[in-house]
Structure 1
Amino acid sequence: MATKENSGSTDAESTQKTVNAVLDAVARTAPEVRRGLPGRRIAIEGKNPSGEEQKAADVYTDELLLERIGSISNVGVYASEERASGVDVGSGLSVCVDPLDGSSNLEPNAAMGTIVAIYDDDLPASGRDIVAAAYVLYGATTTMIVARSNKETVTEYVIHESGDYQVVREELTLPENPSVYGFGGRVPHWVEEFEEYVSEVESDPSMKLRYGGAMIGDVNQVLTYGGIFGYPTLTNAPEGKLRVQFEGYPVGYILEKAGGASSDGRKSLLDVEKDDLHARTPVYVGNEGLIDDLEAALADRY
């Protein structure tokens, strides 16, 4: 890892400088990640801390991001879904990364992403400690969605092959009239209340199913067209599948900044409290009305 200076400062100006440096590193690493995917589609021996099969691309992306983010001044801890614990890289902000969300989509050549959450606290942090969240989407083009604590809006960038990136939308908000939905988990394991809610959504002729197997790709559909995404509580997995530090908090933060809402079925994802780095939570994000209806549908269960 590259040598860095430790600033030890977490005041507002220093925090935003560090946030910008992390986002810059993520964006400029994205083309290298993308170029490295074709030869790293195979599974490797071993599993990540959540018990999921790792692809060579997961490990490759994680190592690249640790090197780049870990060398930034005022970053104290780098944590990844691919590592059991955080890596101490200095003093300052904590950065949580899902290096390659949806890496199972390597085989069918479908969308994948990288998710980043930056916290001004030790890990495991809370959703209210986020100072920035972002995701890179490796789709037909490479884009990056960013939400910052010092801005009230969400920004979308396009990332070029050179590593340069530019703003394409500065005030990205969910459309008022939602039109897409996507829900994870096996239907036989959905709880009755959720299944009834989904039936209501599906009965609306203006709503279209969009589910691609990479959470961040599905969330981006919701952010683009309006709607709802959820990975719910299941009868065989009450806490669902998604990790709160790496997926729940950052996605909830971005959608709320974009004028939408997030929930674990009862409250905002940002108010979920967990004491384990790899803890899971049900995740629901989308237009506020749809999330309100979801919470009402699940009220009797809680």
Structure 2
Amino acid sequence: MSDTIEAVFDTVAAVAGDVRSVLRSRRSYEAAENPSGEQQLAADVYADERLEEELLDLPAVGSYASEERDGLCEDSGAYHVACDPLDGSSNLQSNNGMGTIVGIYDEQPPAPGDALVAAGYVLYGPITTMVTAVGETVTEFLVEDGTREVLNESVTLPAEPVTYGFGGRAPDWPEAFATFVDAVEADRLKLRYGGAMVADVNQVMTYGGIFGYPMLADRPEGKLRLQFEGHPMAYIVEAAGGASSDGVQSLLGKTPTDIHERSPVFVGNDALIDDLESTLADAQ
């Protein structure tokens, strides 16, 4: 299994190098929308097609699922990869942070969180970095020319939280969640929210804190996709010593019935996730 996991991460790093090199020439919008009703950029389509092609070329990868396509692309193999090929791609127009998210499952999607065997993300920031989680080991890499170089062999979430960032419009937040945000701000955490989950979670991984896209008044299921975003990021943060939640339970305890199923998503320091769940429970 370890060879397969490393092969998947090596492939994602190689594709990331290609994606980074073409971003400036693929900023235009396509006519098509993805299955979530979001307009696709040329960069979304390119990243998705390259990942699908290269990952399914690996003998052990039996299926590829993506936020950018309706169903599974199937092959023979024991492991299954779910990707958000270009997370935060709307930031391309304004030249802000974006990323790639990948989850490796030993069950075909839609798969439960406990079927994850590894997860990772690539951050296209001032430099390109990759964070991977296998079991309880989280490693950070520098990605240059499509290859990985270890920067930190044992990434852990800092014990003292510094940052927070929450998606959605504040007027659409449920009252109980708004109460929790008031408490976070009273603790003088610093607001860091850039509209790309990878970049925002990486802030939490670096400085400690909490990131979330909550349930909304008109969308109680939230916005983020569990299979492509919630599960992989929860796996990484929990492996680094943090916690995840949908407001009630760990995201890794959830099983989607559809590969594009949405969920409220919160990841960060244990104490903050505990406070979140307590605040929401008290409002019931």
Superposition TM-score tier, normalisation by shorter sequence: over 0.9
SS at match of 2:133: strand
Pair 1:157-2:157 in alignment: no
Match of 2:234 among 252, 275, 279: 252
SS at match of 1:51: coil
Q: List gaps (5 residues or longer) in structure 1.
A: 1-14
- How many Å separate the matches in 2 of 1:286 and 1:164? 29
Match of 2:216 among 214, 234, 244: 234
SS at match of 2:59: coil
Match of 1:193 among 165, 172, 176: 176
SS at match of 2:271: helix
- How many Å separate the matches in 1 of 2:40 and 2:183? 36
Alignment of structure 1 residues 8-23 onto 2, 5 Å: 15-23=1-9
> Which residue does 2:88 correspond to in 1?
102
Q: How far apart are 1:28 and its partner, in Å?
A: 1.4
- How many Å separate the matches in 1 of 2:146 and 2:74? 27
Match of 2:149 among 150, 166, 169: 166
> Which residue does 2:185 correspond to in 1?
202
Match of 1:24 among 10, 26, 40: 10
The alignment yields a C-alpha RMSD, in angstroms, of 0.9
- How many Å separate the matches in 2 of 1:26 and 1:270? 23
Q: Is the 8 A contact 2:110 2:255 kept in 1?
A: no
> Which residue does 1:283 correspond to in 2?
265
Q: How far apart are 1:91 and its partner, in Å?
A: 2.5
> Which residue does 1:292 correspond to in 2?
274
Pair 1:122-2:108 in alignment: yes
- How many Å separate the matches in 1 of 2:33 and 2:122? 23
> Which residue does 1:133 correspond to in 2?
119
Q: Could you report, residue by residue, the CA deviation over 1:210-259 in whole angstroms, capped at 9, with x for unpaired residues? A: 00010110000000000000000000110100000000000000000000
Length-normalised TM-score, structure 2 = 0.98
Q: Could you report, residue by residue, the CA deviation over 1:159-182 in whole angstroms, capped at 9, with x for unpaired residues? A: 11x222111001100111100000
Length-normalised TM-score, structure 1 = 0.93
Match of 2:37 among 51, 60, 81: 51
Q: Is the 8 A contact 2:14 2:146 kept in 1?
A: yes
Pair 1:221-2:203 in alignment: yes
SS at match of 1:274: coil
Q: Could you report, residue by residue, the CA deviation over 1:254-284 in whole angstroms, capped at 9, with x for unpaired residues? A: 0000000000000100001221110000000
Letter of the structure 2 residue corresponding to residue 166 of structure 1? E
Paired positions, count:
284
Match of 2:28 among 38, 42, 57: 42
Letter of the structure 2 residue corresponding to residue 100 of structure 1? L
> Which residue does 1:265 correspond to in 2?
247
SS at match of 2:154: strand
- How many Å separate the matches in 2 of 1:98 and 1:130? 15
SS at match of 1:171: coil
Letter of the structure 1 residue corresponding to residue 160 of structure 2? N
SS at match of 1:133: strand
SS at match of 1:37: helix
Q: How far apart are 1:104 and its partner, in Å?
A: 0.3
- How many Å separate the matches in 1 of 2:137 and 2:119? 12
- How many Å separate the matches in 2 of 1:229 and 1:261? 11
Q: How far apart are 1:301 and its partner, in Å?
A: 4.4
> Which residue does 1:65 correspond to in 2?
51
Q: Is the 8 A contact 2:10 2:147 kept in 1?
A: no
Q: Is the 8 A contact 2:224 2:230 kept in 1?
A: yes
Q: List gaps (5 residues or longer) in structure 2.
A: none
SS at match of 2:85: strand
Aligned-pair identity in percent equals: 56
SS at match of 1:54: strand
